[in-house]
Amino acid sequence: MDMSQMKTYYMALLKKGPYQPTDTAEVNSIQRGHMAHIRKMAADGKLVMAGPFLDNGELRGIFIFDVATLEEAKALTEADPAVKAGKLIMELHPWMSQRGTTLP
């Protein structure tokens, strides 16, 4: 493997958190904030991919960050309204991929 072609990203695995609101207005408010945060991180060039898992399990989704440090990725994830509310918790890992690799 040619390591010069590899780049480190940071992947946040978003898991079901301890707080699962049942009030529709609260659920919708948290989700709106979560989506706005995703759009802002993407617009700022820090989030390269995000999305939910579709099987309704404990693992809810992922964020893939293109940032300089694990600490920056952690701060971005912790700023998410769904994480702040306890609806989601994160598990963060450095992750490597070939430079320029994208999904079709």
pTM: 0.89
Mean pLDDT of the region 49-58:
95
Distance between CA atoms of 65 and 70, rounded to whole angstroms? 9
- Of all residues in the chain, what percent carry a pLDDT higher than 90? 85
Domains identified in the chain and CATH numbers: 7-98 (3.30.70.1060)
Predicted confidence (pLDDT) per residue in 71-84, tens digit? 999 999 999 999 99
Please name the residue that has the structure tokens 């946040």.
Answer: 12
3-class DSSP state of 18: coil
CA dihedral 100, 94, 38, 31 (to 10 degrees): 140
What count of other Cβ atoms lies within 10 Å of the Cβ of residue 11?
A: 17
Looking at residue 15, its pLDDT comes to 98
Alpha carbon 49 to its chain's center: 8
